[in-house]
Each structure stands twice: as structure tokens, then as C-alpha cells.
Amino acid sequence: MLTYIIRRLLLVPLLLFGVTVLIFAMLQFLTPVERSALYVRDIPKNENAIAGIIKQYGLDRPLYEQYWRWLVGRVDGITGERKGGIMFGDFGYSRTASQPVVDLIRNRFPNTLDLTIWAVAPVILVGIWLGVQAAVHQNGFIDQAARMFSIVGTSFPTFVFGLLMLMLFYANLQWFPPGRISDWANQVVFTDDFRHYTNLLTFDSLLNGRLDIFWDALRHMLMPILTLSYLSWATFLRVTRSSMLETLRMEYVTTARAKGLPERDVIFKHAQPNAMIPVVTLAGFSVVSLLGGVVITETVFNYPGIGQAAANAAAQLDVITVLGFALFNGFILIVSNLVVDVLYAVVDPRVRLS
């Protein structure tokens, strides 16, 4: 177990190096002047000043030097102030948001996390339950419905689904508005009485005992949650189903039945734990695909998370900002993949012993 985890940990620096090189390579499509936004807030118009900045930050130096500078930044000889340096959390300045990219991410990420938590948790719980039911009652109603749904569902692009939801539930029925929160609630949130414990709006409003704000936030999130997760429902169901079917055919399950255990125990105590192994991997992948999915979902619903910010920046060709988001996403995904792999070893002895 320990050697497995150590071997897996050794992969992390490699992945970090690879991802940073990949993003650095994309930076090279920019001119040195555009790249100077990595270090300075306002790029001057004056040509001499631009040349000075390029020289100061070594933007015309060989690639490996530039890469190193990009990683650690440049410490000013006189003031001792560090400019740039992604290792120290400085991703440069966002032209479109007129603030450092890191601040933009810090403001936006809690909203995305809030949305993702609500989009993941119900899917995993209900999806697994439905999948087990579909396997136990094979070719029954849930099974057939899931099959139909997953074919139709995978053919619906996220943005078409989102736009149709908006058309139906916002424009026609006026039930669920887009955006993050209503104006009246927003005013409450920015008063001093409202304590920000976690920065996640739904959890903060619960901790503050403001059920009205919680409901308002959830009302705004319901359509994005469904849009983000409608594909995962079917995927979780189908993977759980096929894994469960396979497990139910194993001999130890027959043994359990033969010795007279009640069917409930056979299914939930003996078969299900083993059938969950592929589902753990899937849960990891679904975090990855959700982080990709928020780009479109948040844009459609005008939801102020990192995905919307990334899409806006990309549409206005503000590459520094977009690459900052890519870096941030890369870090999150490397860490969450690590967690998934370790969890995988915990649940499946075959992985850690091989």
C-alpha cells in the first residue's frame, strides 16, 4: 500500500512539469509585448518603455530561461518585491477583469465549487442507487428508461439543454431565474451581519440561519445544477449497473445465496461493495468533466464562476487570464486524480498488491 502511494506521488511532479510546459508552450504564441502582462499591470504605449520591460523581464531570452522566470518570477533588486512567478501564485494581470488573475480566481472559485458540490453529491448517491436497482431488476422499467435517457441525453449538447431550460423555466414559466442571487439577497450578503464562514453561499446562508437566502441561492442554481449533471445521471447508472451485473454473476454471490442469506443482504452487503470499484474511478473522472462543463454551463446561465470568467476572457482573446485558469484547473485536477487513485487502491486490494 505504502509503496503504491509513494510510486503514485512520484508521478505528481512529472505531471506538474508536463502541464506547466504545455501551458508555457501555448504562451509562446503570444508576442513578447503581450506576454509582459505576466509581470506588469499596464503595458505602456511608448516603444522604449515596452523594450525596457521586455529586457527587464527577459521576454526575449532563450525559452528555458523564460520558463524558469515564469515559474519563480523576478525579484526587484531595490524594493525586494517579487513580480510574476506562478509558483508563488502570481499568474499575471487580467486585461478584461482589470485585476490580478489570481484575485479573479479567488473571487469566482467559491461560486463554482458551490455549484459543483450540489451537482455531484445527489448524482452519486441517487445514480448508484438507481444503478443497483437497474441491475437487480434487469430489463425492468428503470433499466429501459435509463438506456433511452442515456442515448437521448448524450445527444443533447450542454448549451442546447441549458438554453431550452432557460426558455421553459425562465422565459415561459418564470420559475427559476439565471444569475447567482436576487438583488435583495445580495444586499443582505454584503452587510456585516452576514458572516462568511466558507465563502460558499448556500452553506454560509445556512450557517447564518438565513433560510430565505439559502432558498434564493438554490433557486438560481437549480437549472445550472441540472444542466451540469444531466449527463452524469445516466453514466453513473449505467456503470453501476454493468459492474453490479458482473458481480452478481460471481460465485461468492451464489455461495451467499446458497447459504440462505436474505436477498437484501446478498445485494447490499456482499455484491454492492465490490461492484463500487469502477464507480470510484468514475466519480474521479466526473470531477474532471464537471470542471470542463462549468465553462459552458456558467456561460449559458450567466453564473459568476470561474468557467464564465474563462469563457469571457477567451472570447475577448485575453490569453493571460485564460492560461491562468488553465494552470489553476491543472493543479486541481492533478490533486483530485491523485486522491482518486489512492482511494482506488484503498477499495481494491488488487491494485495495491500488484
Q: Which of 4, 24, 67, 156 binds other proteins (CB under 8 A)?
A: 156
Residues near 22 by beta carbon (within 8 Å), at least 6 away in sequence: none
**Structure letter (DSSP) for residue 268:** I
Q: Which of 282, 311, 340, 345 binds other proteins (CB under 8 A)?
A: 311
Burial (CB count within 10 angstroms: exposed 0-12, middle 13-18, buried 19+), residue 5: middle
Q: Which is nearer to other proteins, 37 or 213 (CB)?
A: 37
d(CA 138, CA 142): 9
Site string for other proteins, 162-181 (x = CB under 8 A): -xx-xx--xxx-----x---
For residue 285, the SS3 value is helix
Q: Which is nearer to other proteins, 156 or 194 (CB)?
A: 156
Asked whether 279 and 239 are in contact (CB, 8 A), the reply is yes
Helix axes 158-165, 277-301, angle to 10 degrees: 60
Interface region with other proteins, contact rule CB under 8 A, candidates 91-99, 210-218, 254-262, 327-335: 327-335
Interface region with other proteins, contact rule CB under 8 A, candidates 46-54, 74-82, 271-279, 314-322: 314-322
Interface region with other proteins, contact rule CB under 8 A, candidates 191-199, 209-217, 263-271, 297-305: 297-305
How many chain residues are in contact with other proteins, going by CB under 8 A?
A: 56
Site string for other proteins, 91-130 (x = CB under 8 A): ----------------------------------------
Q: Which is nearer to other proteins, 125 or 148 (CB)?
A: 148
d(CA 179, CA 174): 13
End-to-end CA distance of the chain: 10
Q: Does 325 bind other proteins (CB under 8 A)?
A: yes
**Least distance to other proteins from the beta carbon of 170, Å?**
7
Query: Hunting for cell 444569475 — which residue is that?
Result: 179
**Least distance to other proteins from the beta carbon of 77, Å?**
32
d(CA 80, CA 269): 62
Q: Does 317 bind other proteins (CB under 8 A)?
A: yes
Residue 1: count other Cβ atoms within 10 Å of its Cβ. Answer: 12
Element (H, E) at 189: helix 183-189
Q: Does 315 bind other proteins (CB under 8 A)?
A: yes
Q: Which is nearer to other proteins, 126 or 151 (CB)?
A: 151
Element (H, E) at 30: none
Asked whether 305 and 109 are in contact (CB, 8 A), the reply is yes
Q: Does 18 bind other proteins (CB under 8 A)?
A: yes
C-alpha cell at 91: 499568474
99, β-bridge pairs: 94
**Least distance to other proteins from the beta carbon of 40, Å?**
20
Site for other proteins, residues 328 to 347, rule: CB under 8 A: 329-330, 333-334, 337
Query: Hunting for cell 431550460 — which residue is that?
Result: 165
Asked whether 169 and 160 are in contact (CB, 8 A), the reply is no
Q: Which is nearer to other proteins, 189 or 221 (CB)?
A: 221
Q: Which of 4, 24, 30, 194 binds other proteins (CB under 8 A)?
A: 30
**Least distance to other proteins from the beta carbon of 22, Å?**
6
**Least distance to other proteins from the beta carbon of 211, Å?**
28
Residues near 252 by beta carbon (within 8 Å), at least 6 away in sequence: 270
Selection from 313, 330, 309 nearest residue 112 by Cα: 309
Binding site for other proteins (CB under 8 A): 14-15, 18-19, 22, 26-27, 29-30, 139, 151-152, 154-160, 163-164, 166-167, 170-172, 178, 242, 245-246, 288-289, 291-293, 295-296, 299-300, 302, 310-311, 313-315, 317, 319, 322-323, 325-326, 329-330, 333-334, 337
